[in-house]
Amino acid sequence: MMRTRLLFIIFTLWCGVTLGAVGSRTDCGCLQSLPPGNHVVLICPQGDGPTLAEAGAIITLTYQDIVKPERPFSTGGCNGGIVWCGGPLRADSFTGDNGQTTVSGPMAGGGYDTEIVWYLVHLVNQDCMMSYVPLVLVSPDINADLAVDLVDFSIFAAGFPSPSKPYDPRLDFDGDGSVDIVDFSLFAQHWLHRCS
Ligand SMILES: [Ca+2]
Ligand SMILES: [Ca+2]
């Protein structure tokens, strides 16, 4: 008997109180800019930046599918500026019988982007269903080739310090609005890191 292939999807995103509002929408648009106060989280190809849990952004997703509850899904940056090691960031597990899973683990990757975007795949009668977490992702792997090396150092050096150089948010690893010795220290901590 054909079961009605009707998807009923509920997203529940739990974030730390300091994260502010969480976006959730059924279109494929990205926010043009994030509201002030969003978290800046450093990611590294080696995966030794803070985990989502440490960043206060454990995500619980409830995915109720009449046909089949177990679904994989993956993530990316809103503007395509993030490259993950080993493919897109994934949830901790497939959804179980209750349709729930969480995403809490480390993020191994490089690049710069605003918002983590959750792409649910294999949706039926849905061209696009995304959910957004307002994190700004920065990485010492500035050019997103999954290695922290001299190319990244040259990019960082070109924008250091700010002020007086023009502000480049890709280089502001602690998100304090300036590019200074603290950001350089964070860069140095991940020097020569690559995907493991
Ligand atoms: Ca690089
Ligand atoms: Ca800074």
Average pLDDT for 43-66: 77
**Residue 187 pLDDT > 50, yes or no?**
yes
pLDDT tens-digit readout, 159-184: 999 999 999 999 999 989 999 999 99
Q: Say whether 102 sits in a helix, a strand or coil.
A: strand
For residues 43 and 34, the model is more confident at: 43
For residues 41 and 123, the model is more confident at: 41
pLDDT score, position 143:
97
- Of 112, 125, 33, 109, the C-alpha closest to 74 is 109
For residue 194, the CA-to-ligand 1 centroid distance in Å is: 9
Q: Say whether 41 sits in a helix, a strand or coil.
A: strand
Q: What counts of helices (H) and strands (E) characterise the chain?
A: 2, 10
For residue 45, the CA-to-ligand 1 centroid distance in Å is: 9
For residue 35, the CA-to-ligand 1 centroid distance in Å is: 28
pLDDT tens-digit readout, 82-117: 898 987 667 787 777 776 777 788 889 999 987 666
Average pLDDT of the residues of the chain? 73
- Of 80, 120, 86, the C-alpha closest to 106 is 86
Q: 83 CB contacts (<8 Å, ≥6 apart)?
A: 109, 110, 111, 144, 145, 146
pTM of the model: 0.74
* Torsional sign, CA 103, 105, 54, 45: negative
Please state, in angstroms and rounded to a whole number, the distance separating the CA atoms of residues 23 and 135.
11
Ligand lying closest to the C-alpha of residue 156: 1
pLDDT tens-digit readout, 11-22: 333 322 223 334
For residue 130, the CA-to-ligand 1 centroid distance in Å is: 28
